[in-house]
Structure 1
């Protein structure tokens, strides 16, 4: 590697920015080509009449994943992405008779009081669940999450296969949770988070129960100014390191000759680069940025069209009168029949009893709405168009 070997990245979303920061810090010369006028990709923000709304992710549940890029480069994360821990993390409301309401903290004393209010087996099962998932989490961190897989031998070797078995991915998230925790409310309270990534707890592997474990062990945080503050902080850090972001510059093609990348086609111009990272959506990259099935490998256009997609969501952005002090920053309203609700989300039937996520950032951040008012981000999981 030369000290200034060039790498080009498509998209200034969080994945593209994260890769760019690490590579620029390692001594490469990195350029990002971003089609929009600002960084963040799906981690974007909308401003309307003195209200600001996040239009992508809203929850920080593993703050170190964001902070580590700043500490890696010798910066203080608080100078770029100031965070505060939310206590409680969120409220969960169960519709039905009887109506139930739970405030969920990541304080162990509070959690045990909640579990013990149900029955001793639920409390014991909760602790056993945490121990089980933390063990799997350690295996995943040591052998999978932070490890590159460039060759088949990186995966298909005795050590990796043994550790893969330790992850116990064969059970569903819902079934695994039920084996530990007998109380139905607590099961659902602990399992619905698979919807964060568009997967039903009925079908998603039990490894996805790592998501609530991470929330419970590391807490949920709020970033001052909203999640787009993270994107702006990443972009600022990257440019301070000497990286370049070309905004309003969509990439037309990744240019490949004899299965070797030569560069990018951008606005009719050739940008030479032997190393290209695409942070655009995978199906879009394979179908529209790469020409020829030979260059796409097994991910041909036909195969991409046949792939199943995760569920979608319907989102409302409301600026409302009042401050609603009884609401938390994050609120989950669970359907009276969550099993039927989940089935309808993933089989395409009309949803007549939805579950809802309500995010009210103005509860902790006065910059998000005018004085005496609130901003509501209301999300309802729905079917993706392919199932309609």
Structure 2
């Protein structure tokens, strides 16, 4: 039995801790804040409740596997996940709306045909077909296996080239170029670019392989957790407690200690030293003095910054409302969940905007209310109060540098959008969470638990999650 110290109590950290504990190790989690979950928090006021982080779960199989591997009760007995249907409604720049059914490729194609004319659905399906090829080529190396030392293969964009495409012959295209060339304008390209932008990925600089993100949603669905996604964090935390994981809250870590060339423990901010056989850093490595080599240094890309507006509304949620609406760079979430509101005569609405390097200026509360009013009838008249959360609030809650939020890893772009490997140049020191391979987002961060636990338990023989 090894003593393992985990830095941070976010989703990736807790997924790692639970898996290591069930393998028989003594695991202690050290968290600078007062609670678990990292970015997956909850804000409550006047009977309204809002998720402060992700509002939906994509690829829920990651957490189903976690619960299968760490205890007797499956995820469905610990948290209620519901696939949202319709999956998403788009409000296009010209005011038209387009609604995609949940988990249906054929239904999505039919909706596109209705909005953009016969044959448009086939074009959309063709793009998603090429996205499927990119997903098949990268699913295991990019999501389920430790990052190999030779990353050249993942540096190449796996999105298949169109025949006769001078653009594709000249250089690998960006996602925005793929959307414009293969879908065209008139708002059709927005179906692809806005879905990817919601992950904190800039379509103007992202490789075409970013199409795997909408492919993943359309294939595996988008899921809501009854009571809010915070309930998923609570379920993972309680599973950790069941497996005898110890949590130390209010315990900021200053430094990873190294003795004899390998990780040997932690030094806390109050000067306390903790000994450990293995250390897992599951926070942004820039927050802690961590002896990283160049290969395991933080990603060079500029992560996104999130602006979130909570809106408390009087009046019942209208009958034809959908859970998620996309309006370019803005996402509006309207969960039909009694746990989010004082009663049926009120509604809680969350509005997200993602700002990436070189994109539009930071939105104001008025900007987000104006955008949300295009998706929520009578929003201005119904508004009781609103509150804006900025990257400064993200920094306060999670400690992330400048309130940044990591995006999922993507193949292509010369490897620029890959995250550091889970192993480091220091034996006994591992990286987990959204700042490590395979990157940010609930599913990707959760996968770090399987990868890091596999590397510690199986060592060099570990070949990936099964």
Place the TM-score, normalised by the shorter chain, in its bin.
Answer: 0.7 to 0.9
Q: Which residue of 1 aligns with 2:317?
A: 324
Q: Which residue of 1 aligns with 2:222?
A: 220
Counterpart Cα distance in 1 of 2:172 and 2:23: 38
> Which digits, 9 at most, give the CA deviation of each residue in 1:288-336, with x for residues without a partner?
x33xxxx343389xx97x95523323222122211231432212223xx
Out of 202, 206, 215, the residue aligned to residue 208 of structure 2 is 206
Q: Which residue of 2 aligns with 1:100?
A: 96
Q: 1:387/1:274 Cα in 2 relative to 1: closer, same or farther (>3 Å)?
A: farther
1:367 aligns with 2:367: no
Out of 32, 51, 55, the residue aligned to residue 52 of structure 2 is 55
Task: Please give the secondary structure, in 2, of the residue aligned with 1:186.
Answer: coil
Counterpart Cα distance in 1 of 2:35 and 2:231: 12
Shift of 1:67: 1.6
Task: Please give the secondary structure, in 1, of the residue aligned with 2:209.
Answer: helix
Q: Which residue of 2 aligns with 1:346?
A: none
Task: Please give the secondary structure, in 1, of the residue aligned with 2:49.
Answer: strand
How many residue pairs match? The answer is: 345
Q: In 1, are the aligned partners of 2:82 and 2:223 still within 8 Å (CA)?
A: yes
Q: 1:384/1:208 Cα in 2 relative to 1: closer, same or farther (>3 Å)?
A: closer
Q: In 2, are the aligned partners of 1:139 and 1:163 still within 8 Å (CA)?
A: no
Out of 240, 249, 274, the residue aligned to residue 251 of structure 2 is 249
Counterpart Cα distance in 1 of 2:286 and 2:360: 18
Shift of 1:385: 11
> How do 1:234-383 residues align onto structure 2 when only pairs under 5 Å count?
234-257=236-259, 259-266=261-268, 267-285=270-288, 289-290=289-290, 295-298=291-294, 307-325=300-318, 326-334=320-328, 355-361=329-335, 364-371=336-343, 372-382=345-355
Q: Which residue of 2 aligns with 1:88?
A: 86
If the length of structure 2 is used for normalisation, what is the TM-score? Answer: 0.68
1:147 aligns with 2:160: no
Counterpart Cα distance in 2 of 1:162 and 1:76: 34
Q: Which residue of 1 aligns with 2:417?
A: none
Shift of 1:65: 1.8
Q: In 2, are the aligned partners of 1:140 and 1:167 still within 8 Å (CA)?
A: no
Counterpart Cα distance in 2 of 1:170 and 1:265: 46
Q: Which residue of 2 aligns with 1:349?
A: none
Q: In 1, are the aligned partners of 2:308 and 2:353 still within 8 Å (CA)?
A: yes
Point out where structure 2 has 5 or more consecutive residues left out of the alignment.
161-170, 362-466
Instruction: Please give the root-mean-square deviation of Cα atoms over the aligned residues, in Å.
Output: 2.8
Counterpart Cα distance in 1 of 2:356 and 2:211: 22
Q: In 2, are the aligned partners of 1:9 and 1:33 still within 8 Å (CA)?
A: yes
Shift of 1:359: 1.4
Point out where structure 1 has 5 or more consecutive residues left out of the alignment.
335-354
Q: In 2, are the aligned partners of 1:122 and 1:182 still within 8 Å (CA)?
A: no
Q: In 1, are the aligned partners of 2:91 and 2:97 still within 8 Å (CA)?
A: yes
Shift of 1:164: 5.2
Counterpart Cα distance in 2 of 1:248 and 1:211: 36
Identify, as 1 or 2, the structure richer in helix: 1
> Which digits, 9 at most, give the CA deviation of each residue in 1:26-55, with x for residues without a partner?
232211111222210011111112111111
Task: Please give the secondary structure, in 1, of the residue aligned with 2:63.
Answer: helix
> Which digits, 9 at most, give the CA deviation of each residue in 1:226-274, with x for residues without a partner?
1111111111111112221222222222112464222011232111013
If the length of structure 1 is used for normalisation, what is the TM-score? Answer: 0.81
Shift of 1:88: 0.2
Counterpart Cα distance in 1 of 2:358 and 2:192: 28
